[in-house]
Structure 1
Amino acid sequence: MMNAVADDEFESVLWIARECYVYRLPPRTSSAGYKAAEWGDMEAFLWKGRLRILERGSENDPTNSTKCFIRLEDADTGELFANCPYTLDGKSVEPVLDSSRYYVIRVEDATTGQRAFLGMGFPERSDSFDFNVALQDWTKRQRNTTKREDVDQGPSPHIPSGPKRDFSLKEGQTISISFGGGHGNRSTSSTTKKSTGSAASDALVPPLLPPPPPPPRK
């Protein structure tokens, strides 16, 4: 049986099949995959009941990640027959090669941790389709959650990697700036000498001329 839900945990039902069948698997003869035709008489099923896909998580989990379980239960009493913890790699549920309605599921005892493989099928293809959609939706949400967590923990993609480089000008260092009209390059210095610059400016400016004399009086 599954453990009881703690106070800070939540559990929601993702999908319910009112009827499904469970089969005992014969020894596997090939690594190519399972075939429902090898299970014998499909009317001689091991168990019949309902299937529920449950999602369980914690309200205190900052990653918002959850776990998924496929529960096989008695349709009337809800008594657990088998529990299949669903994994992101999909290895806990394997479709057969010769039918779209049958699967091989890996069930696990929550107390002992023992695992076993069982055949499982639905009476209608629409049930099998909805079963797949529910599992795919949960898988997609979990992978998106994992991606967001990786982005939050990783460095910003806009910050270049590697050590910081100092591009500031050192004392006495100059840079060249090319102007559009260009007759060569002009350079500007990172340091200024006020006295030299002032003297040079005075030498280049001509003295002011006196105003013109007033016109003679008549």
Structure 2
Amino acid sequence: MAIIDPATGRPLQESDASFQRVLFVTNGVHVYGIPPITSTKGFNASSWTSPTQPTAQEIFTARVRIVETTIDSRVKVDIALEDGSTGDLFAAAPYTSAAVVQQASDSSRFFAVRVQGEGGMKATLGIGFEDRGPAFDFSVALREAGKILGMNDSSAAQSGRSSQANSKAEGESKQDFSLKEGEKIHIQVGQKGRRAPSPQTAGTSDSSALFSIAPPPDAGKGSEAFPSIAPPPSSKDTQKSAQELGFDDGEFGEFQ
């Protein structure tokens, strides 16, 4: 039996190492034509099915399959939206990255799927599951497909590199420079240049520096350094006789 390409609905070239595996299948999935995304928060499914002013229009009810196809050493995964009665292909989304399917920001049952036509034209459709069970299984199958295609390994490697860089930066910033028990620091002073003074010379120079200012003179030597001023004469010394002052009493004693 020929292997049908889920992305085109046409037979693939067979080889001895070709096989297909269905990762997920369910019926009764509602398909919507949704407006372009307008917010960085993601797609808002409540506006798609608003009872008063819906922004999306339901255009199809599909059977959804996630199919892994291996031809020789090449592996691919496709999400096929098919007619549940006839199996005819309605639209397909090659699962080449996790961005192909985005879960709605306000519901676990709605997803935005980027489908691609044969000419390479792309469009984003909304799909809605009636129950949370199939929606959960759909998410699990996508994670399994990511493992098969190595998407999780590349993401893990990238996150591992970033975590190693962060750990290295934290380790450098938190590096401990304190001495551990038993560790010592050895400092070797260079012998070049001026010779260090001997302890005796150093002690002498230090004492000389402390007493570089001459101390005040002793009390006994004060008269030699600073001659004292003689006190004023007493009143007894001023009462000298006229003869001592060079006067004569005269013949008749007129100076008595």
| Structure 2 residue 114 is the aligned partner of structure 1 residue 84 | no
| Structure 2 residue 113 is the aligned partner of structure 1 residue 105 | yes
Q: If each structure's helix is expressed as a fraction of its own residues, which one has the higher value?
A: 2
Distance 1:24 1:133 in 2: 25
Aligned length: 141
CA RMSD of aligned residues (A): 2.3
Distance 2:41 2:151 in 1: 31
Instruction: Show the counterpart of 2:104.
Output: 96
TM-score (norm 2): 0.51
Change over 3 Å in CA distance of 1:57–1:145 after alignment to 2: farther
- Quote how far apart the aligned CAs of 1:41 are: 4.2
TM-score (norm 1): 0.59
Distance 1:143 1:28 in 2: 28
> One-letter code of the match for 2:110?
Y
Structure 2: tracts of 5 or more residues without a match: 1-7, 155-256
Instruction: Show the counterpart of 1:132.
Output: 139
- Quote how far apart the aligned CAs of 1:145 are: 11
- Quote how far apart the aligned CAs of 1:54 are: 0.6
Q: Please, which of 22, 27, 30 is the counterpart of residue 31 of structure 2?
A: 22
Q: Which consecutive segments of 4 or more residues in structure 1 shift more than 6 A?
A: 144-147
Percent identity (aligned): 35
Task: Report if aligned partners of 1:15, 1:53 keep a CA contact under 8 Å in 2.
Answer: yes
Distance 1:115 1:32 in 2: 22
Task: Summarize the alignment of residues 148-159 of structure 1 with structure 2, pairs less than 5 Å apart.
Answer: none
SS at match of 1:98: coil
Please give the per-residue CA displacement for 1:70-123, whole angstroms capped at 9, x wherever unaligned.
Answer: 101111100111001112x301000010000000000001x2111000011111
Instruction: Show the counterpart of 1:55.
Output: 68
- Quote how far apart the aligned CAs of 1:3 are: 3.9
> One-letter code of the match for 1:33?
G
Q: Which has the larger radius of gyration?
A: 2
Higher relative contact order (CA 8 A, sep 6+): 1
Distance 1:31 1:141 in 2: 29
Structure 1: tracts of 5 or more residues without a match: 148-218
- Quote how far apart the aligned CAs of 1:141 are: 2.9
Q: If each structure's strand is expressed as a fraction of its own residues, which one has the higher value?
A: 1
Instruction: Show the counterpart of 1:31.
Output: 40
